[in-house]
Structure 1
Amino acid sequence: MDASRIKQLSAFRRTLHQYPELSGEEKETANRVLEFFEPLNPDKTFQGLGGNGLAFVFEGKEKGPVSLFRCELDALPITEENDIKHLSKVPHKSHVCGHDGHMAIISGLGFELAENRPRKGKVILLFQPAEETGEGAEAVIKDPKFKEIRPDYAFALHNLPGFESHQIVIKKGAFAAASIGMIIRFKGRNSHSAHPEAGNSPAEAMAKTIVALEKLPDAMKKFTLVTVIHAKLGEVAFGTTPGEATVMATLRAHENETRDLLVVYAEKLCAHIAKEYGLEVGFDYTEIFAATHNDPEAWELGNQAAKNLALKTKHIRIPFRWSEDFGLFSSHTKTLLFGLGSGKKQPQLHEPNFDFPDALIPTGVAMFKEIMHQLHD
């Protein structure tokens, strides 16, 4: 890729960085992407896919496989703390996960496809909404328009701080964890704070639940993790004994089935505690992420691409603990999610001083381009 294109993609990335939008709110981001692709003349453009999603289709002259290359539109509700000219202009919102860089990479692949259509099959460039909440992939897949672009393969990357810059991080099978947000609600009975014995406060039950939930993985045979992320007891009213409590936790496992079993055990644990204290208990769930599973055939395409480009490759043995809603595509097609090292000294994802390194853009484009050639030439 020539220097002028790289400069253009870097400038586009920095513009996206300055105007982040949260999950489900990515309307202006989508408009910027749409404007970028207009001169690239895709054969078909799908708008409003699963919300604010976009898909650009580039068709070959011969029949062949359909491949999808995906990036994310959304940002995070985190105030950026950086000394850069392209600092976020939107209060309390930022691209400190690098989705702006991922969009720039897929846009760079758009440059390549505009000049050289695939010889056979179709290539789809998907800009997916709402990845951070785990809702976007499901919304895209359920969208009736997705039936028109259902792929045979789907590919995505994520930049990974802590790994050598430009290094490809890859694994067969499970790559990123399944997770779910669990909301536990205890209900007792209010009373005057001068007479707590007349009510039934869930305070002790809440405290016991917080401790017990995080120890629950000790009883599991496979990897699991429970992280309590929030708890609330009653309201701020010094004359009142609280009657309600809420505990929120993220439950993780390397497999969907293990995550679901962990949920069952967590519910039984909370029900037991509620019974012990004479409380009612209810459960809600949010931000549900499927495990990301790399198909052997898709993995081979990615591994060969890294070899062809002479890129350093790290074959990891243990899946990552974090979740990516790209995992839902694994249930519908042959998928590959791989990591692109963004530097050992790079701030970690979701830290307020993270900024995607522009130098990674050509490497990401090259990897996707090499995978594409294997399938469509």
Structure 2
Amino acid sequence: MATETDFALQEQMIGWRRWLHQHPEAGFAERKTSAFIAEILRSFDLQPHIGIGGTGVVATIEGERPGIEIALRADMDALPIQEENTFAHRSVHDGWMHACGHDGHSAMLLGAARQLAADRSFAGKVHLVFQPAEEIGTGAKAMMTAGLFEKFRAECVYGLHNWPGLATGRFVVHHGAAMAGARPFEMVVSGCGCHAAMPHQGADPLLAAAHLVTALQSIVSRNIDPADALVLSVTQFHAGDTHNIVPDTARLGGTMRYFRREAGEIASRRMTEMVEQLAAGMGVRASLKFFEFGSPPLINSAVHADHCVAAASAVAGRENVGTGVAPSMTGEDFAFMLERKPGAYIWIGNGSAEGGCSLHNPRYDFNDEIMPLGVAYWVALVRQRLQPVER
């Protein structure tokens, strides 16, 4: 049965979450966000460390007895999307909104901080990591470059993300790959512009670029093991300004997603070869660049996935914890932390994805009803992992 304290915390979390939703900030610009989070942590008699990796915040809760150290991570940044919701807590910053639920992730970790700080009957330390710049894929690396795991010596790290389309009250845990590696790219095809009525006098970059869009798909169908999941999508094509001029240049952009590193490397090599050779065969030049803000595949440790299953089962029932769900081709920079430390990343159901509730949607809003379950999961995970050892 819920207590008055539970209801009071729920109301607090709703207030925190909706303030964060109203005040979205870009990656590495989460200054008001991090100050807000730090202020709340101080109200629990914690001493937050601020400015880690730019705008990151970390607070440590020490149990009443010595033991191992673990880290829990929430992301803080928003997306460059114009919000279409009309409720009172809609974004006050034009062109930016929390369309992925990072406001809810931060609020749930703050709720867990309050619970754990008030009752420290565990052995060890838990480090609460509020990470910037997840959406641009560089926040986790920035925090680690700034010495995250040297200053806060966690032996493992855990993450959580809301999942629209997964029923409220349910969790999903993957024993292995949970989310794909993401490798964004840009191609520039350069030719020689001319009058559209006399194409023989130029070198058409659009024709070569159009062939590239279709030819690149042969990499997936003919160079990658059919047992591997790999997606190569061209999502941008920019060229020309008017109807009667063949332009000098065409620019294309897109993303590659994969689970097995070897498959990603094969596809990257074949893309480079194809771009250069197809362009040369059509009398133009082309270059391919992969951006630094991609992320590797997010691979859970099976042992730590088991810890997550146990904690989620304790609060939701084992029947509400899925373990056989297919991983997602979306990316997540928490993968960089899992390359440095063992751990696991789970999904918590956010309810129906219908009516504009899917992630990165201008009508998305985090489901406040799931916050108590998220807090209970974090607290259960900490207490199970940091149990005092009887002597």
In the other structure, the counterpart of 2:239 is: 233
2:36 and 2:110 map into 1 onto residues whose CA distance is: 11
| Structure 1 residue 24 displacement after superposition | 2.0
2:169 pairs with 1:169: no
Structure 2 regions of 5+ residues with no counterpart?
none
Does the aligned pair in 2 maintain the 1:59–1:118 contact within 8 Å? no
TM-score relative to the length of structure 1: 0.94
1:245-273 superposed Cα distances (whole Å, 9 cap, x missing partner):
11111100112332222211221221221
Among 211, 229, 240, the alignment partner of 1:223 is: 229
Matched, 1:343 2:351: yes
Identity over the aligned pairs, expressed in percent?
Answer: 29
2:310: which partner in 1?
304
Superposition pairs for residues 242-261 of structure 1, below 5 Å?
242-261=247-266
Q: Provide the rounded CA distance (Å) in 1 between the counterparts of 2:285 and 2:149.
A: 42
- After superposition, residues 1-377 of structure 1 pair within 5 angstroms as 2-42=6-46, 44-117=47-120, 119-191=122-194, 195-219=198-222, 220-221=224-225, 222-234=228-240, 236=241, 240-286=245-291, 287-311=293-317, 312-346=320-354, 347-377=357-387
Moved more, 76-85 or 140-149: 140-149
- Aligned-partner SS, 2:212: helix
State how far apart, in whole Å, the 2-side matches of 1:330 and 1:345 are: 28
Partners of 2:269 and 2:66 in 1: CA distance: 47
Q: Deviations over 1:200-257 (max 9, x none)?
A: 22010111111222443222211100111111124x2567531111111110011233
For residues 52-86 of structure 1, the C-alpha deviation after alignment (integer angstroms, 9 at most, x for no partner) is 11111112354322111111111111111113211
Q: Is the 8 A contact 1:74 1:131 kept in 2?
A: yes
Mapped contact 2:69–2:154 kept (Cα < 8 A): yes
Q: Is contact 1:270-1:281 (8 Å) kept?
A: yes
Change (3 A) 1:145 1:343: closer
In 1: Cα distance, 2:326 partner to 2:274 partner:
28
Count of residue pairs the alignment pairs up? 375
Single out whichever of 88-97 and 61-70 deviates more from structure 2: 61-70
**Cα RMSD (Å) of the superposition?**
1.8
Please say if residues 228 and 249 of structure 1, whose CA atoms lie closer than 8 Å, have aligned partners that are also in contact: yes
Q: Matched residue of 1:2: which SS? A: helix
- How many Å separate the matches in 2 of 1:353 and 1:79? 9
How far did residue 40 of structure 1 move?
Answer: 1.3
Could you list the runs of 5+ residues in structure 1 that have no partner in the other structure? Answer: none
Cα deviation for residue 276 of structure 1 reads 1.0
Letter in 2 for 1:342: N
What CA deviation, in whole Å up to 9, does each residue of 1:297-335 have, x standing for no partner? Answer: 211111111222243111234211111111111111111
Q: 1:348 deviation in Å?
A: 1.0
Question: Is contact 1:57-1:125 (8 Å) kept?
Answer: yes
CA distance in 1, matches of 2:8, 2:386: 26
Per the alignment, do residues 118 and 249 of structure 1 end up closer, same or farther by CA in structure 2, a change over 3 Å counting? farther
CA contact (8 A) 1:254 1:319 kept: no
For residues 140 and 130 of structure 2, the distance between their equivalents in structure 1, rounded to whole angstroms, comes to 10
Contact residue 122 and residue 383 of structure 2 kept, 8 A: no
Query: Partner of 2:288: helix, strand, or coil?
Result: strand
For residues 243 and 214 of structure 1, the distance between their equivalents in structure 2, rounded to whole angstroms, comes to: 25
Partner SS, residue 365 of structure 2: coil
The answer to whether the Cα contact below 8 Å between 1:71 and 1:99 also exists between their aligned partners in 2 is yes
Is the 2:78–2:97 contact (alpha carbons within 8 Å) kept by the matching residues of 1? yes
Q: Distance in 2 between matches of 1:231 and 1:171?
A: 36
TM-score (norm 2): 0.91
After alignment, is 344-353 or 249-258 more displaced?
Answer: 344-353
